[in-house]
Structure 1
Amino acid sequence: MILVTGGLGFIGLHTTRALLDLGESCVLGQRRPDGPPADLADRQVVVDRVDINNEAELLAVGDRHKITGIVHLAGSMPWPRGADMPVAEEPVGDARAALNSLFNVMHAAREWDVPRVTVASTIGVYGGVAGAGPRFEDMPLPMTSGHVIPAFKKIGELLNDYLADTTGLDIVNLRIGAIWGPGGRPTSPFFAVPQLVRAAINGTTPDLSRMTSPAYAEDAIDLCYVKDCGRAIALLQLADRLNHRTYNVSAGRATTNAELIAAIRQVVPDARIDLPSGGDGEQSYLDITRIGQDTGYRPAYDTETAVADYIDWLRAGNER
């Protein structure tokens, strides 16, 4: 059974579905006691309540289940404690807890003798890399980070490389792009697509006030539909052999807000979702040659099919 930490989360559930489709069974490690969603009720999946900051709790999962691999998607970062609090109240303790959860997962992997641990990183580690164009896994990265998420993901990648060298564990870093789709948050501070889609189907104008910077029609980012993301992670977890320790997990192309708006209007022609022209027009994206060569991964969704699928999901009565 594959243990998916954060298994009831946005990316976790789609990764689980992909693992199940590939013939695996899964344990979803989660702090909250919820059961699996209805579409997974009759499949080879169980939810096990566990706090990965508690080493004994985590190790006990291996007493209840035969764990054959780990997909570590839970945070391992010190999240700010409130929307109005940009810095955590207990930064030292929170940082210690974040790193401790990563160490606990690696300790459990050694105890259970699992063949591979895949660990979520982020597109944000490329922040500060100069110039447009593709972002390759072997590019030099700046030491600085403008946000807590890429900062701790860089730390995690370095720790993972060290632990892979010294323990013999097969640890794989997943540099995950900007992910959106069914189950995602209704707003994003980093890209406009969730707000644009929801405004279109609600007949409103998009509220982009919580974004970290203004949104323009020419703005572009590597947007990956969550179903593609989950399948990519599953393929990396289950591959017989991988040639690298770090992989970009994304669509492999830059998508502009103008392209998104055009795709939305194919489904909702009267959508009131215009954005002003402007921005720097720079287009960068994650190169996915490496994951394609080692797993055969190719995105199944382009912008138009992803938008149509997401709108169908929301119109079916799903809240997210």
Structure 2
Amino acid sequence: MILVTGGLGFIGSHTVRALLDQGEECVLVQRRSTELPPVLAGARVAVERVDIGDRDALLDVGRRHAVTGIVHLAGPGPARIAPEAAVEAARATLGGLLNVMQAAQEWGVRRLGVASTIGVYFGARTDADAGSGLPLPEDTPLSLSVPAAIPAFKKIGELLGSHLADVTGLDIVDYRISGTWGPGGHEDPFFAAPALVHAAARGAEPDLSTLMAPAYADDALDLNYVKDTGRAIALLQLADKLNHRTYNVGSGHATSNADVAAAIRRTVPDARVDLPTGSRGPHLVLDIGRLREDTGYRPEYDTERAAADYIAWLRAGHDR
């Protein structure tokens, strides 16, 4: 049985769906809700309403369920943190991560997977090659500077995981997840694609006010459809042998806002998804060679298929 923290969330629910499709049983840990999202409607899963910051409550889950593996996808909190809340936010995020690692050790799980982010690569390249758009392999030297809270905590988590894997012998694997969009998602603060799709499905102008920076047509990112992301994480969790501790999870190529807009218009010809020309800076693209070699993963959704599927989902009455 695989325990998935954040298993009712966006990426979490699709990962659970992929694990179930592989014949695994799952127990989902969520702090607030126990209601299954539409992607898991009718699924036979156990749901535990537990705050991973409560160590004893988390460890009790392992006394009720025979947990053999853990996928830790519970988020580190919002991208923007108020100064007066920053210390407690850090304490909660790192405390939850350490509790999950302790649970993995006490339960003797086969593998603990921990979500990281493409954001750890911000600033990783020099000015000379930053605009090259070449895929970033996992052994790319990372910068110590961070542009936001989420990549900061993910870098810290990777270091903690590496240290504890060495000391305890735990099989801890980091997933550096690319920009992810699709059913169950919402407007993302880092990229515009979800907002463009939601607007097209509603027949409205996109609301880009939640973005951390203005969006331009030529802005591009390694963009992966959430069904592919969830399947990749499931494959990493279930692989008999992994040759590395860190894996990029993405599409392996850059998708621009203009690409997304063109794909949307294949389904909604009159969609109002134009953005100003130009770009804010270099494109982050993940090298997914390790993922392909060790799991056989191949993305199944190109941009056009992803946009059509997402719009159909929203038009079917789902609000996210």
TM-score of the superposed pair, with normalisation by structure 1: 0.94
Structure 2 counterpart of 1:207? 207
Report the CA distance shift for 1:215/1:301 in structure 2 as closer, same or farther (over 3 A). Answer: same
**Aligned-partner Cα distance in 2 for 1:12–1:150:** 18
Shift of 1:90: 3.6
Structure 1 counterpart of 2:152? 151
Structure 1 counterpart of 2:245? 245
Asked if structure 1 preserves the Cα contact closer than 8 Å seen for 2:69 and 2:110, the reply is yes
SS at match of 1:285: coil
- Map residues 16-27 of structure 1 onto 2, 5 A cutoff: 16-27=16-27
Higher alpha-carbon deviation: 202-211 or 16-25? 202-211
| Alignment equivalent of 1:115, drawn from 99, 105, 110 | 110
Higher alpha-carbon deviation: 99-108 or 13-22? 99-108
**Aligned-partner Cα distance in 2 for 1:238–1:225:** 20
Shift of 1:207: 1.8
Structure 1 counterpart of 2:123? 128
**Aligned-partner Cα distance in 1 for 2:318–2:99:** 35
Shift of 1:125: 0.1
- Map residues 136-215 of structure 1 onto 2, 5 A cutoff: 136-185=137-186, 187-215=187-215
Report the CA distance shift for 1:221/1:63 in structure 2 as closer, same or farther (over 3 A). Answer: same
Asked if structure 2 preserves the Cα contact closer than 8 Å seen for 1:78 and 1:95, the reply is no
SS at match of 2:206: coil
> Which sections of structure 1, spanning at least 5 residues, go unmatched?
none
Shift of 1:97: 2.1
TM-superposition CA deviations, 1:195-233 (whole Å, max 9, x none): 111222222221212222221111111111000000000
**Aligned-partner Cα distance in 2 for 1:207–1:39:** 25
- Map residues 72-87 of structure 1 onto 2, 5 A cutoff: 72-75=72-75, 77=76, 79=78, 86-87=81-82
Report the CA distance shift for 1:212/1:64 in structure 2 as closer, same or farther (over 3 A). Answer: same
TM-superposition CA deviations, 1:9-48 (whole Å, max 9, x none): 1011000000000000000001124232466454331101
- Map residues 1-320 of structure 1 onto 2, 5 A cutoff: 1-37=1-37, 40=40, 42-75=42-75, 77=76, 79=78, 86-130=81-125, 131=130, 132=132, 133-185=134-186, 187-279=187-279, 282-320=282-320
Shift of 1:144: 1.0
Higher alpha-carbon deviation: 277-286 or 136-145? 277-286
**Aligned-partner Cα distance in 2 for 1:250–1:48:** 29
Paired residue total: 314
**Aligned-partner Cα distance in 2 for 1:166–1:105:** 16
**Aligned-partner Cα distance in 2 for 1:254–1:308:** 19
SS at match of 2:135: strand
Report the CA distance shift for 1:93/1:212 in structure 2 as closer, same or farther (over 3 A). Answer: closer
> Which sections of structure 2, spanning at least 5 residues, go unmatched?
none
**Aligned-partner Cα distance in 1 for 2:207–2:39:** 32
Asked if structure 1 preserves the Cα contact closer than 8 Å seen for 2:13 and 2:40, the reply is no
Shift of 1:188: 1.9
**Aligned-partner Cα distance in 1 for 2:253–2:200:** 24
Q: CA RMSD in A?
A: 1.5
Asked if structure 2 preserves the Cα contact closer than 8 Å seen for 1:78 and 1:88, the reply is no
**Aligned-partner Cα distance in 1 for 2:196–2:235:** 31
SS at match of 2:304: helix
Shift of 1:86: 4.1
Higher alpha-carbon deviation: 57-66 or 278-287? 278-287
Letter in 1 for 2:173: V
SS at match of 1:135: coil
Asked if structure 1 preserves the Cα contact closer than 8 Å seen for 2:14 and 2:39, the reply is no
TM-superposition CA deviations, 1:265-304 (whole Å, max 9, x none): 1111111211121125643301100000000001000000
Report the CA distance shift for 1:33/1:274 in structure 2 as closer, same or farther (over 3 A). Answer: closer
SS at match of 2:84: coil
**Aligned-partner Cα distance in 2 for 1:39–1:229:** 14
